[in-house]
Amino acid sequence: MVGMSGKRGNGEGSIYLYKNGYAAYVWVTKPDGKRARKYAYGKTREEVHEKWLNLHAEAKKGPVVTRHRTVAAFLAYWLDSVVKPNLAPLTYVSYEGCVRLYIAPHLGPKRLDRLTVRDVREWLTKLATVCQCCAQGKDAKRAPARRKCCAIGECCEAYPSRRVIQAARDALRAALTHAVTEEEISKNVASLVKVPKPRRRRIKPWSVAEASQFLTDAAARDDHLVAAWVLVLCLGLRRGEVLGLTWKSVDFERGELYVDHQIQRAGREILHRETKTEDSDDFLPLPALCLKALRMRRAQQMGDQKAAGELWQGSHDLIFTTKYGTPIEPGNMTRMFALRARRAGLRVIPLRNTRHTCSSLLVALKVHPKVAQRILRHSQIAMTMEVYAEASEEEVRAAIGQLSDAMGGTG
């Protein structure tokens, strides 16, 4: 042992007296390849000696970070330098919202390398009990006359749902995965914390009779979106895919539709961008009803363009536009779908649930099984034939007959 002079013991390296205890350093290689001193501090020589040995072992394994950022600083860097340039705009919007609203206010000041499993668990438990109207000042942002809850001292208890809590945990986990990759931390503590899975509501999809009633009503009223509803119900296309279609996507001669773009709202802008994966891009055969609906839509749009005159802004060549040629807001399409379902006297189902009606509707339209196989993206024709075996109802034929009449025959 060494006296108060602070001289080093054999093999201890750079241990010295410092403030109210001891300090030591080890020369390490940082992730950027530069050499630097990494320090350790403690109340006793034994404590510092142990930390010093651990530092040596860490330095032998590979690069060592000498300065640790706070969670908030790392998340800001991750969003700007990793997520924004490399991931889809919607992913950035989702992660940025989770960081700003749920992660940074609670875990932001903590040091990244000192974040523990317990910290993450306690954060998620607390998050479930924090009223987001209070935390985000939602009521306070209203005009004084319109304030009705938190801002006037009557908390509305707008607690985050299970889905929101899962999204916040997933965002933190994604960020910490990157911190591990960059060797700022050794393990991802967020992935070690389990969160209760959100419950999915099972909604009964429309029958062929209901789908036909919806389309018949839309066609009878000369709805500007009738062709969109036909494509959604007959081809099982998603909302963004339908709104992203251009006239170049349709081959009227061969009776095919090429799906490779989508319309998305990301934050404050509407984007016309490629579909998520190359597997999503596909040439889909168009049944006669779809072709007829698209021809009707083309005539409608020409009428709109004439009526709008100089106010027409259709620069994207989109099939489905407002009366002035601008892209349709995805959220508005969802709202329109619900309004039109009520108008047709039907129970309202989410727009995305219409995909389940697609297969039985193709059977009722007498679409050839080989064509249906391509539309439904079945790898085996046996799967398609199972669908065909199930659907052979008389009322289905009657419903489709009505629809055919409303659209002036399906030829």
Q: What is the pLDDT of residue 124?
A: 94
CATH number of 208-406: 2.40.37.10, 1.10.10.10, 1.10.443.10, 2.60.260.20?
A: 1.10.443.10
Contact yes or no for 55/48 (Cβ under 8 A): no
Pair of tokens at residue 332: 């508005």
Give the residue extent of every domain in the chain: 14-61, 71-192, 208-406
Distance CA(356)–CA(376), nearest Å, equals 10
Q: What is the pLDDT of residue 2?
A: 44
Task: Give DSSP secondary structure letters for 132-151.
Answer: HHHHTTTTTTS-GGG--SGG
Exposure b/e, 14-53, CB count within 10 A at least 16 = b: ebeeeeeebbbbbebeeeeeeebebbbebeebeebbebbb
**pTM (two decimals):** 0.64
Please name the CATH architecture into which domain 71-192 falls: Orthogonal Bundle (1.10)
Pair of tokens at residue 219: 């066609």
Among candidates 170, 166, 136, 140, which has minimal Cα distance to 152? 140
Pairing of strands 14-18, 35-42: unpaired
Contact yes or no for 191/220 (Cβ under 8 A): no
Q: What is the pLDDT of residue 5?
A: 47
Contacts of 17 (CB under 8 A, 6+ apart): 4, 6, 23
Going residue by residue through the chain (411 aa), what tens digit of pLDDT does each one get?
Answer: 444 444 544 444 578 888 888 998 888 887 777 888 888 888 899 989 988 888 888 888 877 776 678 999 999 999 999 999 998 888 898 999 999 999 999 999 999 988 999 999 999 999 999 999 999 989 889 898 888 998 888 899 899 999 999 999 999 999 999 998 887 888 899 999 988 887 777 778 888 888 888 998 998 888 889 999 999 888 888 888 889 898 998 999 888 888 877 777 777 777 766 665 554 456 788 888 889 899 999 999 999 889 988 888 876 788 999 888 888 888 899 999 999 999 999 999 888 887 777 777 777 777 777 777 777 767 677 766 766 665 555 556 666 666 666 676 544
Contacts of 49 (CB under 8 A, 6+ apart): 9, 12, 15, 24
Among candidates 168, 165, 173, which has minimal Cα distance to 129? 165
